[in-house]
Amino acid sequence: MRNTISDTPHAPARPVCMIPEVDASGVTLVDLTPATPLNDYQEAMELAKEEARKHMEEFMLMSWYDRDRNIESPPNSTETAGDELTGYVYYGINHGATLKVDIEDGRFVFFFTPVEL
């Protein structure tokens, strides 16, 4: 069964990002829903970086997901075939992410890790 979402009854369905069950006990979860929906990934990235600055002095983006384009980074981090991209979640958590910023209910998801100077 394919999980999809549609903004309107006549719009084509887009895949839904299914967040896998992983141990995220050391990860701060931040959900953001702007009053005005964001236009694109670039706006989401700026919002996510603003949020990361509130939690860490220096940080690095470890992984991300863009549901509009149904792509994840690092690319091809999901090793299983299918419609659900989840590799970015495992990658972020397994590479030290301590902050997850979820924008518009999974439309854009970012994992950040602090940088020790």
Domain limits, the chain: 17-114
pLDDT digits (tens, 9 = 90+) for 13-46: 544 444 456 667 789 999 999 999 999 999 999 9
CATH of domain 17-114: 3.30.1490.340
pLDDT digits (tens, 9 = 90+) for 46-65: 999 999 999 999 999 999 99
Give the per-residue pLDDT at 75: 79
Element (H, E) at 62: strand 59-66
Q: Please answer whether residues 5 and 16 qualify as being in contact, where contact means their C-beta atoms are separated by less than 8 angstroms.
A: yes
Tokens of 2: 């394919």
pTM of the model: 0.77
For the chain, the maximum distance between any two Cα atoms, rounded to a whole number of angstroms, is 51
Q: How many CB atoms lie within 10 A of CB 114?
A: 16
Tokens of 3: 């999980």
